[in-house]
Amino acid sequence: MLRIGLTGGIAAGKSVAAERLGELGAFVVDHDELARRVVAPGSAALAELAGVFGDRIVVRGALDRAALGDLIFADESARATVNAIVHPYIGAMAAAADKRARAAGEAVVVHDIPLLVDVGQGDSFGLVVTVAAPVSVRRRRLIQKRGLTHSKATARIESQATDEQRAAVADFVLDGSGTRDELRSQVDEFWKINVPH
């Protein structure tokens, strides 16, 4: 079973690449989705987060993502604390997904991990692929498509590893600065060359 780590900065196009890899036949494990599940109402991770940060991040028993986002993108120590709480839970769910994929006979498993480099998982995969795009392009996408202010978009970009740091651990770098179709074509080329058929 080929395990691929897919990463990329916020708004670089990683989701487009993950979607295309899934269409090509990969079993995709979305770590953002795992992160949402581990902090579901009543979860141990949410209880731990509330124990540290209090009611300001919980609304009617559920995580207030906007409040948590504002907190962690403005405060590096808060971000490190949140990561230390949630990443072990995410890791356990990811390992379970690998086990299910292996049992099902999946040939290729892609772990879609925004913070793959930030949390030091570069050596955990057979191949690492990153999607890169200039900061100016990513900032514009965050402002236009997600409605963030310039300062909030910049804070989110700056809270993550740089494209250079991601490229240093990647086996392949895809260019996410163009159109969806251009990126999907690059994924097709990557698949044709690197995935056993």
Per residue of the chain (197 residues), give pLDDT as tens.
Answer: 999 999 999 999 999 999 999 999 999 999 999 999 999 999 999 999 999 999 889 999 999 998 998 888 888 899 899 999 999 999 999 999 999 999 999 999 999 999 899 888 989 999 999 999 999 999 999 999 999 999 999 989 998 999 999 999 999 999 999 999 999 999 999 999 998 76
Strand, helix or coil for residue 113: coil
Q: Specify the residue for token string 């300001």.
A: 56
| DSSP tally for the chain: helices H, then strands E | 9, 7
Q: Specify the residue for token string 């490229």.
A: 167
CATH of domain 2-191: 3.40.50.300
pTM of the model: 0.91
In the chain, where are the structural domains located?
2-191
pLDDT of residue 3: 97
pLDDT of residue 94: 96
17 CB contacts (<8 Å, ≥6 apart)? 6, 8, 129, 131, 174, 176, 183, 184, 186, 187
Q: Residue 60 burial by CB count (10 A; 0-12/13-18/19+): exposed, middle or buried?
A: exposed
CA–CA distance, 138 with 134 (Å, rounded to integer): 6
pLDDT of residue 119: 85
Identity at 142, one-letter amino acid code: L
162 CB contacts (<8 Å, ≥6 apart)? 9
Element (H, E) at 5: strand 2-8
